[in-house]
């Protein structure tokens, strides 16, 4: 979704933190997260986050901080032992790319479609669809916590309803977007998303924006990115001659997609995949904890099966490890119907890969090995870019201290915008196997309290100090906390 791509990184950006090694410390008091001999302390998390005004003082930010700190500490430790990461199994990551490539080749070699369309036919379609409408809109977006309870989601929705009432009462949409919106890509600009066309936004957002007249504010709209208020600012339509070339490509692309859909439907109909009993709840549990170790029998249990194939718990677990935390959260919280659709999609993917293999499109072992080596090289270079590969260890200095400093530097650079987040995905899950890891909920709460107090104090001059209680009370009420 245009302008929302930055939303996908906000949790990771908010995950920047410092790292501390306290091997002799046995108490978790004041410890936000720990892994092995390393500790992330409350005061360190507060110090690193308190100046990041674009990141709200809330649990999801601090928890993301802790998770990235854990990943990078383990990555630095692994790099100190083996700079080539030869002990990591990167083949699952590579095979995901191989499977996608096989499906693309299958489409090109097997799915044939006539995409010829005359200029008159193209104009007729254009006039019927009016696809070149462009909208300019602003939005205020709030994100419920991952795995939010119904009460938490209702609370976020209620905050947006309250903001809508304030806007309709005459308050500035732009000012409220700057104060409350959790889309960093637009909040600083009063929620402005610029002009966008059909297909640029996810469907619920696009449909809501299309239904508005300029100046109107939507009700609360839910998308995979969060909950939104939308105000339409402008609407314009480009003429057919201006967009004919681009529109022809869009129409031809849809014709190919329709042919692909028919092909996939044929594969699925012949295979008739069946979801097994208990699969929905098992998948929810797997998505909620994809790093859990499973016995061989449990990993081999089929979630959806057909003659000659199946998707097992192990298959789903590996796929979820390759996906984003947002997708895992959506699966863990999904309805029965959504999880059934998810399983059916996994079955279709496997059926397509099998069809591609039957056409001789699977690459040889040598080609896969080359891709694995390249993935290992990319991981090494990413680790070097983070400053976690070539540790600056002083003579006589403990390795743990050098790792602390390197991780702190990497995460500080991410917070300042000097470098980008490197998500570890399945590598992170492998690094965590067999390690003692914990995130302390009480300490997370303390970080939130400390950050809120410091930020509030900064906003008040000495003369205003007498109004602390009323100012904090008013802000708490305004932010729904």
Q: Where are the beta strands (DSSP E) in 267-322?
A: 274-275, 302-306, 309-312
Residue where a domain terminates, one of 358, 381, 413: 358
**Tally of CB atoms within 10 A around 125:** 16
- Number of structural domains the chain divides into: 3
Question: Do 215 and 279 have their domain in common?
Answer: no
d(CA 476, CA 176): 15
Give the pLDDT confidence score for residue 287 in this predicted structure.
94
Q: Where are the beta strands (DSSP E) in 116-225?
A: 133-142, 192-197, 221-223
Rg of the chain on CA atoms, in Å? 25
In a domain, 372, yes or no: no
Span 427-443, average pLDDT: 93
Question: Do 50 and 95 have their domain in common?
Answer: no
Question: Do 219 and 277 have their domain in common?
Answer: no
For the stretch 15-28, pLDDT in tens is 333 233 333 334 57
Q: State which H helix or E strand residue 33 sits in.
A: strand 31-35
Tell me, what DSSP letter sits at residue 41? E
Cβ contact 113:342 at 8 Å: no
d(CA 383, CA 386): 5
205: pLDDT strictly greater than 70: yes
Question: Do 146 and 230 have their domain in common?
Answer: yes
Residue for token pair 């602003």: 138
In a domain, 223, yes or no: yes
- How sure is the predictor about 296, in pLDDT bands with cuts at 50, 70 and 90? confident
Which residues on neighbouring strands pair with residue 221, listed in sequence order? Answer: 228
Least Cα distance to 163 among 176, 175, 154, 148 occurs for 176
| DSSP SS3 for 144 | coil
d(CA 226, CA 156): 10
| DSSP SS3 for 108 | helix
Q: Where are the beta strands (DSSP E) in 287-331?
A: 302-306, 309-312
Question: Do 284 and 344 have their domain in common?
Answer: yes
Q: Which domain holds residue 411?
A: 7-83+389-479
In a domain, 250, yes or no: no
Residue where a domain terminates, one of 184, 216, 237: 237
d(CA 433, CA 431): 6
| DSSP SS3 for 84 | coil
Question: Do 403 and 307 have their domain in common?
Answer: no
In a domain, 430, yes or no: yes
Q: What is the mean pLDDT of the chain?
A: 85
Question: Do 78 and 95 have their domain in common?
Answer: no
| DSSP SS3 for 85 | coil
Cβ contact 154:144 at 8 Å: no
Question: Do 140 and 166 have their domain in common?
Answer: yes
Q: Nearest 5 degrees, angle CA 306-CA 307-CA 310?
A: 45
Residue where a domain terminates, one of 217, 237, 257: 237
Least reliable range by pLDDT among 130-134, 156-160, 254-258, 313-317:
130-134
Question: Do 296 and 316 have their domain in common?
Answer: yes
In a domain, 253, yes or no: no
Helix-strand-coil split of the chain, %, nearest 5: 60, 10, 30
Phi (first) and psi of residue 3, to 5 degrees: 70, -15
Give the pLDDT confidence score for residue 146 in this predicted structure.
66
- Residue scoring higher pLDDT (53 or 343): 343
Sign of CA dihedral 118, 120, 121, 126: positive
In a domain, 247, yes or no: no
d(CA 379, CA 212): 46
In a domain, 277, yes or no: yes
d(CA 454, CA 50): 7
In a domain, 313, yes or no: yes
CATH number at residue 158: 3.10.50.40
Question: Do 216 and 146 have their domain in common?
Answer: yes
- How sure is the predictor about 147, in pLDDT bands with cuts at 50, 70 and 90? low
For the stretch 231-252, pLDDT in tens is 999 988 777 887 788 888 888 8
């Amino acid at each position: 979704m245009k302008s929302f791509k930055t939303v996908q990184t906000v949790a990771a950006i908010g995950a920047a933190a410092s790292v501390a090694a306290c091997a002799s410390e046995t108490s978790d008091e004041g410890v936000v997260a720990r892994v092995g001999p390393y500790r992330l302390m409350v005061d360190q998390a507060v110090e690193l986050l308190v100046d990041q005004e674009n990141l709200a003082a809330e649990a999801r930010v601090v928890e993301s901080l802790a998770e990235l700190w854990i990943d990078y500490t383990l990555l630095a430790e692994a790099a100190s032992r083996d700079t080539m990461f030869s002990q990591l199994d990167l083949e699952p990551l590579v095979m995901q790319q191989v499977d996608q490539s096989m499906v693309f080749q299958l489409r090109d070699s097997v799915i044939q479609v006539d995409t010829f369309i005359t200029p008159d036919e193209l104009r007729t379609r254009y006039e019927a669809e009016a696809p070149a409408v462009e909208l300019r809109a602003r939005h205020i977006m709030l994100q419920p916590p991952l795995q939010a309870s119904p009460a938490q989601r209702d609370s976020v929705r209620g905050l947006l309803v309250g903001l809508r009432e304030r806007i309709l009462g005459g308050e500035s949409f732009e000012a409220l977007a700057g104060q409350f919106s959790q889309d960093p890509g637009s909040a600083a600009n009063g929620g402005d998303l610029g002009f966008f066309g059909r297909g640029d936004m996810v469907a619920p957002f696009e449909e809501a924006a299309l239904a508005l007249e300029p100046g109107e504010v939507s009700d609360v709209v839910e998308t995979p990115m969060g909950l939104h208020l939308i105000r339409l600012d402008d609407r314009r339509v480009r003429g057919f001659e201006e967009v004919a070339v681009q529109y022809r490509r869009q129409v031809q692309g849809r014709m190919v997609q329709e042919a692909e859909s028919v092909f996939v439907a044929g594969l699925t109909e012949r295979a008739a995949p069946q979801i097994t009993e208990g699969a929905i709840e098992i998948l929810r549990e797997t998505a909620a904890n994809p790093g859990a170790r499973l016995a061989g029998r449990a990993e081999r249990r089929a979630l959806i099966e057909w003659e000659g194939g199946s998707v097992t718990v192990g298959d789903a677990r590996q796929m979820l490890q390759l996906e984003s935390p947002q997708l895992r959260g959506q699966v863990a919280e999904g309805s029965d119907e959504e999880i059934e659709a998810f399983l059916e999609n996994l079955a279709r993917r496997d059926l397509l890969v099998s069809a591609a293999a039957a056409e001789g499109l699977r690459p040889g072992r040598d080609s896969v090995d080359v891709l694995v080596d390249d993935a290992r090289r990319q991981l090494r270079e990413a680790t070097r870019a983070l400053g976690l590969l070539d540790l600056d260890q002083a003579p006589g200095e403990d390795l743990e201290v050098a790792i602390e400093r390197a991780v702190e530097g990497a995460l500080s650079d991410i917070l300042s915008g000097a470098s980008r987040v490197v998500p570890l995905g399945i590598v992170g899950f492998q690094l965590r196997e067999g390690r003692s890891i914990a995130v302390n909920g009480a300490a997370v709460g303390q970080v939130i309290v400390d950050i809120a107090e410091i930020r509030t104090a900064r906003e008040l001059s000495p003369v205003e100090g007498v109004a602390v209680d009323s100012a904090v009370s008013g802000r708490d009420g305004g932010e729904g906390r």
